[in-house]
Structure formats: C-alpha cells, structure tokens
Amino acid sequence: MSNLLRHFPISAAGHVGYANWHPNLITWMQEVYRAVSGDYNVIHLTKASATEDIGGVATTATRIAWDEEAVKQPGFVHSTTSLNSRVTVENAGRYMLKANVVAVNGATAAVQMRMYPKVNGSTNVTEGTTYDYAIGSGWRVNLNVNTELDLEAGDYIEIETYVVLTSGDQAVVTSATECELIVRRIA
C-alpha cells in the first residue's frame, strides 16, 4: 500500500512532491490508506481496580470514570485523573463507540438502569441507549452500548448511567475488570 502513496507526479526537473496536488486528493489518499491498513485512531479505556457506585435513587445519573488506558493512539485526549469520564476527539469524523459496564446490585430491592453516550456534557445520544434490570442482591446489571457518532474536532463523549427505577437509595457497584470503553475513528 505504501507504494501507492509514493511521491508523484515527478516534475520535469525530477523533483518529487505533493505541491501541485489538490488538498481534497491528498485527504482522499490518506483516507484510502487508513481504510486499507486499518490505521484509524483508537482509544481503549478500562477501570483499574477502583469500583464506582452507579446506583442511588431513581433519576440518579453517573458519568463513568475511566482510570486506565489500555490503548491510546493519537487523535484523542483523555486523562486518567482529571475529568476522566471524558474522551475528546481531535479530528472531525465518524466514530464507532463500544462501551460495557457491569455492576453488582447491593440491595435486595430490584433496580432498572439505562446507559447511553453523552456528547459535550449535554446531548444524550438516545439511539445508543441500553437497559438492564437486576431483581435482587448480588444480581448483575450488564449495560452495553454499540453505536456510531458523527463528531467535530474538540467534541467530547462520556458514558452515563441512569437509575430508571428502584425502591430506594441503593448501591450498584461496578465490577472494574468487566468495564471498558472503545472509541475508534472509522471515517
């Protein structure tokens, strides 16, 4: 593939370069290279050993904190300590988003929860919403999001959980080793 992207055309003087290429052609060639090589940027976040209580009373919303970076390629901004629920994209494009959050219900009462992506702290992406229901103590809530988003450079995404229904204020604690967020630029 790299031979396709060699510097051409060669000028009459024998100099090589992109100087006379139209910017759209250069962008298109870069996109072709990324598509063939699979070289789109990706960030893969997990939770280290820290657990997080995502429960509470009905209407409690919690943005998931990601404190470990399994893979972080260029194109993303994320901190494991400050505002660690946010993943900022540096380039406009279409992004694939996969999130998995598993938590254990700590009360005998049932709890219904939902999870969805949130863009720039205010826009809930309802097309990616998932629901789960734990009927008692020790039951797991397994929330999965799998969607694609069109984002602009500087946009940030977060994963938010929301307590839909419960009989009181109860703990629902994440199982850190079973939680992950993967964001990949696909176009």
CATH number (domain holding residue 145): 2.60.120.40
Provide mean pLDDT across the span 135-148.
94
Asked whether residue 32 falls in the same domain as residue 103, the answer is no
Asked whether residue 62 falls in the same domain as residue 78, the answer is yes
Q: What is the pLDDT of residues 62-102, one digit of tens each?
A: 999 999 999 999 899 999 999 999 999 999 999 999 999 99
Asked whether residue 27 falls in the same domain as residue 104, the answer is no
Asked whether residue 16 falls in the same domain as residue 79, the answer is no
Asked whether residue 71 falls in the same domain as residue 133, the answer is yes
Helix, strand, coil percentages in the chain from 3-state DSSP, rounded to 5: 15, 45, 45
Type of residue at 164? V
pTM: 0.79
Asked whether residue 109 falls in the same domain as residue 146, the answer is yes
Alpha-carbon torsion angle 94, 180, 112, 107, nearest 10: -170
Asked whether residue 139 falls in the same domain as residue 101, the answer is yes
Asked whether residue 47 falls in the same domain as residue 33, the answer is no
Provide mean pLDDT across the span 103-122.
94
Omega into 74 within 30° of 0, i.e. cis?
no
| Angle in degrees, CA 2, 40, 176, rounded to 5 | 140
Count: domains in the chain: 2
Number of helices (H) and strands (E) in the chain: give both, helices first: 1, 13
